[in-house]
Structure 1
Amino acid sequence: MKNKLIVIIIILLLLYMIPTLSLSYFENTFSSSEEGPIDIAESIDSIITTDESEIRYIEVYHINSNKVLKLEIEEYIMGVVAAEMPAQFELDALKAQAITARTYLLYKLKKTNTNPEQHTQAPICSGTHCQVYLTKEELIQKFTQTWYDTYWPKIESAVNSTKGQILTYEGKLIEPLFHSTSGGRTENSEDVFTSAAPYLRSVESPYEANSPKLTATITIPIIEFITKLKGSLGENDINATNLKDKISLIEVSEGGKIKTMQIGETIITGRDFRTLYNLNSSNFKLVQNNENIEIITTGYGHGVGMSQYGANGMAIEGFNYRDILKHYYTGIEIMQYN
C-alpha cells in the first residue's frame, strides 16, 4: 500500500512538472471579451518564442541610429502611437491606433518570418516601410518637453488599457492598414493595392471635418505640368491648347478615387498620377486656369482601412474604440491574447 502511494505521488509530480520543463510548451490562448474563445494559434505560431521571458520583447531596426533596439512590446506600441497619430486626439481614437499598431506588429513579424524583406538587421524597422516608431528622446526633440509631459501619460493610458488586444478576421491576424483622411469614404483594398481583403472594404467616413488635409489645392504652371507628363509618359503631342481634350477619366473607385485615366494615347492609374505630382491622394480634379493648372485633392493617404481623422471624429461623437475598429475593418473581432 505504501509503495502504491509513492508511485501515485511521483506520477502526480511528473504531470505537474512536464508543462514547465518542456521547451516547446507555450499556451496560445486567444479570447474575445464579447464572442468567447477563438483559437488562432496557427496564425502566429512562428512568431512566438518558446522562452516566455522573451515573448514581451522584440527587436526593432532603428533607422536614425542604425542600431537594433530591444524593446518591450507595449513600450514599442507607445512609440508608434505617438509617432503615427496626433496625441491631441480623443483617447478612444488613440486606443484604436494602439490596437492597430499591435496587430500590425504581429502581422509583420509573421510575414517577415516567412518572407524576409528590406531590412535584415531586425524583423521590423522604425520607418514607414513598417510603421513609424519614435523613441522618447526623438519625441521630445520633435515636439518639445512640454508636449511630452502633457501627452505621454495619455498615450500610456491608451496602450496600457488595451494591452494584448489585437484584430482578427475568421481567427487570423489581419493587416490593419490605416491612413490620415479618406475624404468621406474609404477604399476597397483591391482598388488601391493588388489583392482584395474581406476586412478592408469601402465604408463611409463622415466625421472628418476637422482634418486639416480634407481638401488641398496645388497650382502648377501649365508648361511645367506638360513637361512632367511628357517626361513620364512620352506623350509628345500634348500642349496648352489641347490639354483639356487629351485628358479623360476612365474609372473611379467605390471610395471616389481615380483608378484609371487616359492622357493622350496612354492609360495611367490615379495612383501613378498622384505619385508623379506628389498629391495628397488619388481623389483629385484638374482645373485649367489661364497659364496654370490647379489640382484639387480630397483626402490624404491611400484611403484603405482606418481613417485616423475619421476615427477621432467618431470618438468626438461618442463612439468607443471598439465601435471605431469594427466600423473601419469589416467583420473583424477584437481579441485578447495572453
Structure 2
Amino acid sequence: MQWIFVKEDSIMVRGSFFRRCFLIFLVICMSFIYPAIGKAEQKDWIRVGLERSLSERRQLTIQTNYITLGYCIYGNFEKETTLAGSKGFVVKPATGYYYIGKKEYRTYKSAKKMADKLRKLGVSAYPAVTYHSSWNIYVGGSTRKETVKKQYKKIKGRYNLSFGKLQSDNKKRITILTDEGIIVIDTDKHNAYPQIASNSNNRQGVNLIVVENCSYRGRLEIGRYNKNTLTTVNILPVEDYLKGVVPNEMSSSYPIEALKAQAVCARSFCYSRKESVVDSNANQAFVVCDTSHCQVYGGFSTETNQTTAAVNATKGKKLWYHGKVIEANYFSTSGGATESAENVWGSKVPYLKSVPDNYESEPEKEPWSFNFTTKQIQNLLKNRGIDLGKIKNVFVQKYSDSGRVMELKMIGENDTKVWKREEGRSFFSLPGNKYKIVKAKEKPDKVYILSGKKKRQKRIQSSYVISGNGKVSKMSQSVEQYIVKSKDNMTNFARKAPKNNQTIKIVGMGFGHGVGMSQSGAKGMAKEGYSYKEILNYYFKEIKIQS
C-alpha cells in the first residue's frame, strides 16, 4: 500500500481515502457553521417597511448613480452585478405578458448579450434575474397578449433558444431601468427579491442609498409582494436604524439622559418583535414599519449628533423582564400620571403599572379640547354601522385611578352604547384618553374646598394665585382649561361650557396611550439630574437594563 502525505491548512492527512474523509467532514462542518454565522448576523439587523412616504407607489426612482444588485443569503450579501444609472434608476411593477427562456445564464453580462441579439430582431427581450447566479431571457412586457405573441414568432427557433408558455402577470415581477436598458426581476421561482446597495459614500464617508430624495443607510429591497404596487424595505443594522428613530420620536434638544432612555426603549421594541429575516425574502416584506404604528423612522437625513451620541452611549442596552426583552412602550405626554396596561389593552403586564408623572413640568403636548354636535356624533356612529337613533346623552361612566376614561356611555332614542377603555378615544379620534365631557349650562371649573369638616364649592376662575415672586393675581380668563396639580396627578377643568344643548365639549390632557415611559416626564427627570437608568427603572417596574 502506498502512503501519501497531503498538507491541508497545516493538517497532515494520510492517503487519498483519509483525505476524502477529511474533506467530507470539513464540508459537513461548514454547512452547519455557515448558516449559524448568517443567523448570528441577522439578529443585529432589521427590515423596515418605508410606508410613510413610499407606500403603494407605482414607480420609484433611486437617485444613487452606482449600485450593486445582490442577494442576502444566510445574512451575507452576495453580489450579483454592478449597475450604472446616470440619472438614477426607475423601478416599476412588470404587469405585462412574458415568454420565459428555458436556458439559464450564470451572469448578467451573458444574459444581456443574448437579449441584445434578440432586440436587434425587433423584439423586446430583457435579461431577467430570478436568484443568485440565475438569469434568464424574458420576451414581451406588453399588457396586450397578441403583441407579445407576434414578437415571439420573430425569434422562435433562433439561436437554439426555447421558451415556455406565455406567462401572465404573477404580481411578483418588477423592472429596473438602467443606463444599459431594462432588467426584469422575478421572484416566482425562488421567492426572493434582490437587495440594492450603494457603491458610493457621502462627504462624511457614510454609505447611503437615496430613493425619492430620502437617504438611507444599509440596503433597499423593492418588490411587489403579490400586489400591483411597490413596497420598499430598508435592511440595515439595528444600531444604524435607531439613529434614524430617536430624533423622530424625541426632540434632539432634550437632555442627553432622556435621549439615552429613548434609545434603550426603541432598541427594546425592535428586539421584542418577531425575529426579522434579513435574507432576500418575498414571504413577508417587513415586521417593523417607519410610521407611528411601530416607531417613526426618518433615515439618515433626520439623524442628529445629540441623538446619535445617545444611541452610541447605550449600544446594545435593552430592557429585560424575567429573561425576555420587553416591548418598552412609550408615549409623548401623560397629563400627570401614566396608565396601567390592563386599563388600555385589557390585560395585565407586571412591568407596565401606573405611576405619578411628577416631573412632567414641560409637557411636549399641551391640554386640548374639541366640540362635537349631536349630528356629528350620529355621523360617526353611522360610519361604524351603529344606529342609536337621536342622541340624548353622552357621559363618562367610569374613570381609572389615573383619570383616564374606562367607560364612555352614549344613550340614543333607539339604543345605548358603551365604549370601553381606548374605544371612546378611538371613536372621537382624540389625542389621549384622559378627558372630561362638558355640556351646556354646566360649571366645569367647579371645585370643592375642604376646611376642617366643612366642604364648600368654589369656581377656579374666581380664585387668585401667588406666583413665584410673591405676586398675587386673579386667574386668567383667556385660557381654555385650568390644570390643578396634586401630589400624584394632575386634573383639568374647562373654563367654559358649550352654549347650546346640541353640542358637547371634550377637554383633555396628555398625548398617546399613556402606558410605559412618558417622554415629557423623562425630559423633566433628566433635567433634575436623573440618569437614563433611573428614568427607565421609574417607568418600568422590576426590569433589568443589560445587553
TM-score between the two structures when normalised by the length of structure 1: 0.73
User: Closer, same or farther in 2 for the Cα pair 1:219/1:62, shift >3 Å?
Assistant: same
Shift of 1:90: 1.0
1:287-298 equivalences in 2 (<5 Å)? 287-288=438-439, 289-291=498-500, 292-298=503-509
User: Closer, same or farther in 2 for the Cα pair 1:235/1:91, shift >3 Å?
Assistant: same
Once the two structures are superposed, what CA deviation does each residue of 1:121-153 show, in whole Å capped at 9, x if it has no partner? 12322223321211123x3xxxxxxxx6xxx11
| Alignment correspondent of 1:308 | 519
| Alignment correspondent of 2:410 | 263
Q: Distance in 2 between matches of 1:25 and 1:276?
A: 53
Shift of 1:278: 1.5
Conserved 8 A contact 1:208-1:214: no
Secondary structure of the structure 1 residue equivalent to 2:46:
strand
Conserved 8 A contact 1:24-1:50: no
| Alignment correspondent of 1:71 | 236
1:280 lines up with 2:431 in the alignment: yes
Q: Distance in 2 between matches of 1:54 and 1:125?
A: 18
| Alignment correspondent of 1:208 | 360
RMSD (CA atoms): 2.7
Larger radius of gyration: 2
Q: Distance in 2 between matches of 1:49 and 1:101?
A: 26
Q: Distance in 2 between matches of 1:163 and 1:69?
A: 21
Segments of 5+ residues of structure 2 without an aligned counterpart are: 1-10, 12-25, 55-230, 278-282, 440-497
1:127 lines up with 2:312 in the alignment: no
Q: Distance in 2 between matches of 1:325 and 1:252?
A: 27
User: Closer, same or farther in 2 for the Cα pair 1:70/1:248, shift >3 Å?
Assistant: closer
Shift of 1:186: 0.9
Q: Distance in 2 between matches of 1:82 and 1:75?
A: 12
1:109-258 equivalences in 2 (<5 Å)? 109-110=274-275, 120-137=284-301, 139=302, 152-225=304-377, 227-228=379-380, 233-238=386-391, 243=392, 246-258=393-405
Conserved 8 A contact 1:230-1:236: no
User: Closer, same or farther in 2 for the Cα pair 1:286/1:250, shift >3 Å?
Assistant: closer
Q: Distance in 2 between matches of 1:172 and 1:268?
A: 33
Q: Distance in 2 between matches of 1:212 and 1:50?
A: 42
Shift of 1:282: 1.4
User: Closer, same or farther in 2 for the Cα pair 1:174/1:51, shift >3 Å?
Assistant: closer
Q: Which moved more, 1:61-70 or 1:257-266?
A: 61-70
Conserved 8 A contact 2:395-2:437: no
Relative to its length, the structure with more strand (as a share) is: 2
Aligned equivalent of 2:49, options 58, 61, 77? 61
Q: Distance in 1 between matches of 2:368 and 2:47?
A: 38
Q: Distance in 2 between matches of 1:109 and 1:226?
A: 40
1:85-124 equivalences in 2 (<5 Å)? 85-110=250-275, 120-124=284-288
Q: Distance in 2 between matches of 1:106 and 1:184?
A: 30
Shift of 1:316: 1.0
Shift of 1:55: 4.5
User: Closer, same or farther in 2 for the Cα pair 1:56/1:229, shift >3 Å?
Assistant: closer
TM-score between the two structures when normalised by the length of structure 2: 0.46
Shift of 1:261: 2.4
Conserved 8 A contact 2:268-2:327: yes
Question: What residue identity is the alignment partner of 2:525?
Answer: M
Aligned residues: 274
Identity of aligned residues (%): 33
